[in-house]
A and B are shown apart, each in its own frame.
Chain A
Amino acid sequence: GAGVSQSPRYKVAKRGQDVALRCDPISGHVSLFWYQQALGQGPEFLTYFQNEAQLDKSGLPSDRFFAERPEGSVSTLKIQRTQQEDSAVYLCASSLRRGGTGPDTQYFGPGTRLTVL
């Protein structure tokens, strides 16, 4: 398909486990964003990639969160030693141009629902 895909769609982890969430952006999109959406809330910015460069990681809640996009396409969000407060939907979005150049539309994936027990 031509949209943003994310895997897995659902992930259940025991507290303390490490998890890895994958995002496949739309082909050719330069910008990639990760968001965290808690239940009943709007998405909150986590981090931004322009190609393979992580230009903004100010939204990552702790050093347990790590994101990478090594070849400028697929991205992985890793959470180490998961805690119950990490339970949320993690959304990935991509856009065609550089993130700072105007009102580029972001296209969102379906999200990964993470539940930490």
Chain B
Amino acid sequence: AQSVAQPEDQVNVAEGNPLTVKCTYSVSGNPYLFWYVQYPNRGLQFLLKYITGDNLVKGSYGFEAEFNKSQTSFHLKKPSALVSDSALYFCAVRDGTGGFKTIFGAGTRLFVKA
């Protein structure tokens, strides 16, 4: 069965410092992995996705994610955090066998302090 784990409920980082939001997954076959961000009273916004190929995926707003097959991880990173990055971040996975379901993690709240 597919599953996604975001081990941290909240991540605190100072503005200008690098940030990492962790995600590990379990899926049959090759995974498709996604990161979404959710701002208050708004829907989820797509940040980036891993399909195949390069293990470092670049996405919107300066975010990137590193796919590690051996560790079954897909951590979200940004070299220099902004206060405006403060939001709720969701990791999601879909298996590559043609299924319709996308499984989301419970979310990690990122708080960037000025």
Contact = CB atoms under 8 A, between A and B. Distances in A.
Contacts of A44: 104
Contact of B104 (A42, A110, A111): A42
Given A42-B90, A42-B106, A105-B49, A111 B43 contact: yes
A103 B97 CA distance: 11
A110 B45 CA distance: 10
B107 A91 contact: no
A1 interface: no
A36 to B, nearest CB: 11
Contact of A108 (B32, B44, B103, B107): B44
Interface string B76-110: 00000000000000101010101111111111000
B43 A108 contact: yes
B32 A103 contact: yes
Contact of A55 (B90, B100, B107): B100
Nearest to B44: A108
Contacts of A101: 98
B32 A110 contact: no
For chain A, the bracket of interface size reads 20 to 34
Interface string B40-67: 0111111001110000000000000000
A56 interface: yes
Contacts of B96: 102
A43 B101 CA distance: 11
The 5 closest A-B pairs by CB, nearest first: A42-B104, A103-B32, A108-B43, A100-B98, A48-B100
Interface in A82-117: 91, 93, 99-103, 105-111
Given A41-B107, A42-B107, A99 B100 contact: yes
A110 B34 CA distance: 19
A100 B99 CA distance: 5
